[in-house]
């Protein structure tokens, strides 16, 4: 093997002496041969196991023959919508069409269809009636069983049925795809491949399913939302490779969709082999004329050190996709890749990130996980850290020190998420100290998401008091080290459990900080998360208790506006929200008020001093006030008391 790209045309096949490919991989992303892209990993793993693979990237789904350009594969077609669900890729939470696509040459939007896995699957089946079709990637993985689809506001069947595929390889599919390939190459019919972990198949005979758990039927879930909440609760308890059981979902006409238990996580040696494969590490040269693929800039000088996450955030699909067991690469493997980066002519001395889903997870949360599995009815960090939790950053710290010591490396940043409650659980502050001293590029991004404990409970996040402790400790370390670095907290509006009351609480909290976030994420119901099930059913699958859900677009707009109440464009929404919630006490001239009375509201670009009620014209750029830094580092449009500046580590981006 060498670092040449895989075939994308008949001419490429001819150059390599390939008459017929073993597999043809159809992807909704541009062809980027880098281990941050799923299609690159799966195709390289197959190649390493002796199978030939060709790539059809972003075929024209309006052309029936676009999936035939590499001919009929010997063993089967592989399909992935890409690194993102195609609908998430296309639409904002307000269902407005996005203008650019970072995974397409030139950032061009519209090069893949909505529900790409389904469209590609049907297109292939139209051309090849009997060729095995295996679907995978994030879209197929998170839609593997019946699910709520936010974009059509409908309850959909398993994507296995709608795509006319034969198998789903769910999760991180390196192991399952090789087992599937070996079975097909050994002459086993695809309809008989029902024994591989990490796969989903369809059948009319479930007599051979050992210890299977029968879920509510699709028809029952479609008729009664609570049945879906029950089903998802069972699915959520069966995501572990040791304790997970086969799950059976009945459909009309005697069809069953069966999910086998997950594959075991990759060992460190297996992870190393995956990342040591001969990737070209960039996009295909045919994209140069369009300016390349924008997504490469985010990952070109970043290093993946781990997979999996035991954080358990309700709005995150990692539990369903990568699982809760942490998988890590060895230091040698990561350092070897870092040395490769330093030889790139574009390398300027900065490694942009060393992490994964959660950067500071470099080991299982407790020792028993690898023999007994993760707990079905308990989270590792939520609502409090488990007594068995082993919070230890020593391995990660050693890795970062080794990377900092490499020739040509000026700085090693951490831009993946840092789980701050896990950081506080570590009795040794050495990592926290070195994080602040060496690995922050002026500001650290963290994700408290909210400050109301009512909402945080539904989010699966720690109480606000934990975040407050983190902020104070971060501030003290910066002061001790003579640093002037800031925190950028990610906040979420309209998550299930959040009423206008909780949204106003968050606005008041931000008022006391003297801080207005530039970025606010309105809750986005993506497939197969606890939060999405809450949004659709109004029930929390963990306890089956009712949850308030903000579905009205106007109320969602009000909750979002409250977080950015200082933005003049949000005045009317904030005024309406405060009035509707009976909090007109926050409309006035007192320093505790959020906005001024309507009759005195200035024009856009103007606001009133909270202290004097005096009209002051301020520059507004892109709907945001310019901020003036106080001497101690706090940022505000208004003067703040000494008590408020205790949280001066917050600053606008």
pLDDT in tens, 302-324: 999 999 999 999 999 998 899 99
DSSP letter assigned to residue 239? -
Would 493 be classed as within a structural domain? no
Task: Output the six-digit token pair for 577.
Answer: 């929200």
496: β partners: none
Q: Is the peptide bond before 452 cis (omega within 30 degrees of 0)?
A: no
Task: Specify the DSSP class assigned to residue 65.
Answer: G
Mean pLDDT for 322-343 is: 96
The angle formed by the CA atoms of residues 420, 426 and 428, to the nearest 5 degrees, is 125
**Is the pLDDT at 634 greater than 60, yes or no?**
no
Work out the burial of residue 627: count CB atoms within 10 Å of its CB; fewer than 13 is exposed, 13-18 middle, 19 or more buried: middle
Q: Does 14 fall in a domain? A: yes
Is 464 a member of any domain?
A: no
pLDDT at 645: 34
- What are 241-255's pLDDT values in tens digits? 999 999 999 999 999
pLDDT score of 516: 83
Phi/psi for 132 (5° steps) reads -60, 140
- Distance from the first to the final alpha carbon of the chain: 45
Q: Residue 85's domain is classified under what CATH number?
A: 3.40.50.280
The predicted model gives 408-417 an average pLDDT of 94
> Residue 557 is inside which H or E element, if any?
helix 553-563
- Greater confidence, 518 or 452? 452
Q: Which two tokens stand for residue 112?
A: 């893949």
User: Reduced to 3 states, what is the DSSP secondary structure of residue 191?
Assistant: helix
pLDDT, average across residues 468-495: 95
Q: Is 131 exposed, middle or buried (0-12, 13-18, 19+ CB in 10 A)?
A: middle
Q: What is the H or E stretch that residue 181 is in? A: helix 174-185
pLDDT of residue 5 exceeding 80 = yes
Tokens of 95: 């269902």
| Averaged pLDDT for residues 328-357 | 96
Name 26's Cβ contacts closer than 8 Å, sequence gap at least 6.
Answer: 56, 59, 67, 77, 78, 79, 80, 120, 124
Q: How many domains does the chain have?
A: 1
Distance CA 508, CA 464 (A): 14
Higher-pLDDT residue of 20 and 651 is: 20
327 part of a folded domain: no
Bridge partners (DSSP) of residue 201 are 167, 258
Q: What is the pLDDT of residue 3?
A: 62
Q: Average pLDDT for residues 563-585, to the nearest whole number?
A: 96
Q: Picking from 55-64, 510-519, 554-563, 619-628, which range would have the lowest pLDDT averaged per residue?
A: 619-628
Q: Tens digit of pLDDT for each residue in 122-139?
A: 999 999 999 999 999 999
| The pLDDT of residue 589 | 94
In tens, the pLDDT along 258-315 reads: 999 999 999 999 999 999 999 999 999 999 999 999 999 989 999 999 999 999 999 9
Which structural domain, as residue segments, surrounds residue 61? Answer: 10-198
User: Which residues have a Cβ under 8 Å from the Cβ of 163 and sit 6 or more positions away?
Assistant: 79, 117, 118, 120, 121, 122, 133, 135, 140
166-209: pLDDT as tens digits: 999 999 999 999 999 999 999 999 999 999 999 999 999 999 99
Residue 293 lies in a domain: no
**How many residues appear in the chain?**
653
User: How many helices (H) and strands (E) in the chain?
Assistant: 23, 28
Rounded mean pLDDT of the chain? 91
The pLDDT value given to residue 600: 55
pLDDT confidence of residue 215: 98
Within 8 A by CB and 6+ apart from 50, the residues are: none
Task: Report the predicted TM-score, pTM, of the whole model to 2 decimal places.
Answer: 0.89
Q: Among candidates 451, 524, 428, 490, which has minimal Cα distance to 650?
A: 490
Q: Is residue 438 part of a domain?
A: no
What is the reported pLDDT for 511? Answer: 95
Residue 205 lies in a domain: no
Q: Is residue 262 part of a domain?
A: no
pLDDT at 161 > cutoff 90? yes
Handedness of CA 616, 621, 624, 630 (dihedral sign): negative
CA distance 493 to 600: 28
């Amino acid at each position: 093997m060498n670092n040449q790209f895989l075939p994308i045309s008949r001419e490429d096949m001819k150059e390599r002496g390939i008459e017929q490919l073993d597999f043809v991989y159809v992807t909704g992303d541009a062809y980027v041969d880098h281990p941050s892209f799923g299609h690159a990993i799966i195709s390289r793993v197959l190649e390493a196991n002796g199978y030939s693979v060709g790539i059809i990237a972003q075929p024209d789904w309006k052309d029936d023959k676009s999936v035939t350009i590499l001919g009929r594969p010997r063993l089967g077609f592989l399909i992935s919508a890409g690194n993102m669900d195609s609908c998430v890729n296309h639409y904002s939470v307000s269902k407005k069409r996005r203008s650019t696509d970072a995974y397409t040459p030139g950032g061009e939007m519209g090069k893949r269809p909505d529900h790409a896995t389904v469209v590609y699957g049907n297109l292939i089946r139209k051309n090849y009636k009997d060729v095995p079709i295996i679907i995978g990637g994030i879209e197929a993985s998170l839609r593997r069983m019946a699910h709520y689809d936010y974009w059509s506001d409908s309850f959909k069947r398993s994507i296995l049925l709608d795509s006319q595929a034969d198998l789903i390889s769910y999760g991180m599919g390196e192991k399952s795809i090789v087992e599937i390939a070996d079975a097909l190459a050994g002459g086993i019919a695809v309809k008989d491949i029902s024994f591989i972990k990490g796969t989903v198949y369809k059948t009319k005979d479930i007599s051979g399913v050992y210890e299977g758990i029968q879920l509510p039927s699709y028809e029952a879930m479609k008729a009664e939302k609570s049945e879906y909440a029950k089903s998802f609760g069972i699915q959520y308890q069966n995501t572990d490779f040791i304790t997970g059981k086969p799950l059976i979902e009945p459909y009309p006409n005697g069809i069953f969709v069966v999910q086998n238990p997950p594959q075991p996580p990759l060992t460190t040696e297996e992870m190393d082999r995956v990342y040591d494969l001969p990737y070209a590490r960039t996009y295909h040269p045919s994209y140069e004329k369009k300016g390349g693929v924008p997504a490469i800039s985010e990952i070109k000088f970043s290093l993946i050190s781990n997979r999996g996450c035991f954080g358990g955030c309700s709005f995150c699909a990692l539990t369903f996709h990568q699982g809760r067991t942490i998988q890590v690469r060895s230091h040698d493997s990561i350092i070897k890749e870092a040395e490769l980066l330093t030889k790139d002519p574009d390398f300027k001395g900065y490694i942009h990130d060393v992490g994964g889903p959660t950067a500071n997870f470099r080991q299982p949360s407790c020792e028993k996980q690898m023999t007994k599995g993760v707990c079905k009815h308990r989270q590792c960090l939520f609502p409090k850290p488990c007594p068995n939790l082993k919070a230890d950053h020593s391995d990660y710290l050693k890795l970062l020190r080794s990377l900092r010591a490499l020739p040509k490396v000026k700085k090693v940043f951490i831009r993946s998420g840092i789980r701050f409650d896990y950081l506080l659980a570590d009795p040794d502050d050495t990592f926290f100290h070195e994080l602040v001293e060496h690995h922050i590029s002026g500001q650290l991004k963290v994700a408290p998401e909210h400050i109301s404990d009512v909402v945080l409970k539904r989010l699966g996040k720690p109480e606000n008091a934990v975040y407050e402790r983190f902020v104070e400790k971060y501030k003290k370390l910066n002061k001790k080290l003579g640093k002037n670095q800031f925190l950028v907290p990610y906040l979420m509006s309209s998550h299930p459990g959040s009423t206008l009351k909780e949204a106003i609480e968050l606005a008041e909290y931000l008022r006391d900080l003297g801080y207005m976030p530039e970025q606010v994420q309105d809750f986005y119901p993506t497939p197969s998360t606890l939060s999405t099930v809450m949004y659709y059913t109004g029930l929390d699958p963990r306890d089956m208790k009712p949850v308030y859900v903000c579905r009205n677009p106007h109320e969602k707009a009000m909750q979002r506006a409250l977080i950015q109440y200082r933005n003049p464009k949000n005045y009317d929404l904030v005024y309406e929200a405060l009035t509707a919630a009976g909090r007109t006490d926050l409309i006035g001239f007192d320093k505790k008020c959020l906005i001024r009375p309507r009759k005195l509201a200035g024009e856009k670009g103007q606001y009133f001093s909270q202290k004097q009620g005096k009209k002051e014209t301020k520059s507004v750029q892109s709907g945001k006030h310019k901020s003036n830094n106080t001497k101690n580092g706090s940022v505000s449009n208004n003067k703040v008391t000494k008590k408020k500046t205790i949280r001066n580590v917050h600053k606008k981006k």
